[in-house]
Structure 1
Amino acid sequence: MTTAEEGRQRLDAASVLNAKRTLLQLLARAGVWSGDAEEMIGFVEAGALALAYEEIGGAGRSAPDGKGEAYAAGWLDGARAVADELGGVAERALRQALAADPTTDSPDDRPPVGRTEMERTKVAVTPIYLSFTDVSDLDPEVTEQVLGAVLRTMSSRQRSRYAGRLAEFATTHREHLERLYAEYGPGSAIAIHGRYTLVHSPTSVAVLERLAAAPSALYEEWDAAELPPAWLDGLTKAWGAPA
């Protein structure tokens, strides 16, 4: 072991496993089912690997100076090989977290919505919604029914990345969303119009994203869930999407 390696702080495998088991026990005491806890820990692990892959594989990395062209070329080839392998590890970790067989996984599958998928989406939509408007007393409180329809338009893999997709959607369409919530949301002149009821729910962010990205699939799942057609029509009109 070199002096540089001795100065680095790393957790050994036993310590990592101990931390994971400790977290599982703490979550169990809080009433979190072990399967849900394992899934969430798996997502955190896969996410950490994905972020590490992005960091070491990012542009702008260069070989140490003063070693010659041959050394630099070999160094860069080695760095790319390590980054590619880490990307593969991150992909396998995500597949494991999704509990999917990589030989049969299909991006077109729409499995039943899991409990952690629902909770992750709730956590994702609320701060985005509150960045545009306030909590409304007119919230219809149908979060799980609406988000269930939204999530059923996606595969498990798409759901695993949905928080990021929602954040990107909110950033890309910020001005449009600001106008929509100002005109139709809490405190607006038409706030109590039943057609725009869903604008008072944080789930509206996810519904709007699906209207923009997959309107046909959303209408199909909306009908299957027997949700009020007027709510979806109202958001469609407010968003300006074709009905």
Structure 2
Amino acid sequence: MNTADEGRHRLDAASVLNAKSTLLQLLARGGVYTGDAEELIGLVEAGALAGAYTEIGAPPGPRTAPGDKGESYAAGWSDGALAVVEELGVLAERALVRAVTSGPSAESPDEPSPVRRAEMERAKVAITPLYLSFAEVSDLDPEVTDQVLGAVLRTMSPRQRAGYPGRLTAFTEAHHTHLERLYAEYGPGSPIAIHGRYSLVHSPTSVAVLERLAATPSALHEEWDAAELPPAWLDGLTTAWGSPA
């Protein structure tokens, strides 16, 4: 393969940087804050590396050495391939840390920090289709959504928030039957009124709150109280879920 052929199969650093800069400019014209855009691009980059690491390193692991050149060659080839996979995992981790600590309020990926706008928007994008798989569109005030999601996200570190959409998806898949019954009995279309202790069952935020009730109830109660959200909402969801308050 000649140099021209190789150039058609990979991007050089300058071209990648150009594409990133162009995307940032286009997003800025659409009103997306540069810090938020950089964080989102960083997460996509980290995800691409993590995906490659998983695909290459998954069983049976790196492919065997090409040809038949003896055991010593095969062993050396295998060791080298494993070293490359391990380094790819390290690069994926570094990219994730850079992405989630790119803002001024997040100095550590594993320490609590204020919720950033991009984190809030990612949570909204994650919960809406999951909620709509069980119930109808919510009529609650969008400001309430931000307040509730803020309390939910403050129970997590920046690293955990980055992986929260996947955690939510796993939660709904694991408890699909339970959630179907809950929304049928308490959600839109049920005899339960939209205003009252079961109000949040009528909101997409209920998926996020239920996941936190199952995973970290104490932390959720603490952030709920700090945000001065109605205790009845959380009590109602706890009752509907069937967990102890």
TM-score normalized by structure 1?
0.92
Counterpart position of 1:183:
185
* SS of alignment partner, residue 194 of structure 1: coil
Q: Which of the numbers 118, 135, 139 marks the counterpart of 2:137?
A: 135
The root-mean-square deviation of aligned C-alpha atoms, in Å, is 2.1
Counterpart position of 1:216:
218
Report matched runs for 1:2-151 at 5 Å: 6=6, 9-61=9-61, 62-63=63-64, 64=66, 66-99=68-101, 105=108, 107=110, 109-137=111-139, 139-141=140-142, 142-151=144-153
Task: State the Cα deviation string for residues 27-73 of structure 1 (Å, max 9, x = none).
Answer: 01101111111111111111111111111111124313533332222
Q: Structure 1's 181 and 67: CA in aligned 2 closer, same or farther, altered over 3 A?
A: farther
Task: State the Cα deviation string for residues 64-106 of structure 1 (Å, max 9, x = none).
Answer: 35333322222221111001001111111111112279xx736
- Asked whether the equivalents of residues 140 and 197 of structure 1 are also in contact (C-alpha less than 8 Å), the reply is no
Counterpart position of 2:199:
197
Counterpart position of 2:161:
159
CA distance in 2, matches of 1:49, 1:225: 37
Moved more, 91-100 or 204-213: 91-100
2:235 equivalent to 1:233:
yes
CA distance in 2, matches of 1:163, 1:114: 16
Task: State the Cα deviation string for residues 171-191 of structure 1 (Å, max 9, x = none).
Answer: 111111111111111101224
Q: Which amino acid letter does the alignment assign opposite residue 199 of structure 1?
A: V
Instruction: Give unmatched runs, 5+ long, in structure 1.
Output: none
Paired-residue identity, %: 72
CA distance in 1, matches of 2:69, 2:7: 24
Instruction: Give unmatched runs, 5+ long, in structure 2.
Output: none
How many residues are aligned here? 239
- Asked whether the equivalents of residues 97 and 109 of structure 2 are also in contact (C-alpha less than 8 Å), the reply is no
Q: Structure 1's 42 and 192: CA in aligned 2 closer, same or farther, altered over 3 A?
A: closer
Q: Which amino acid letter does the alignment assign opposite residue 215 of structure 1?
A: P
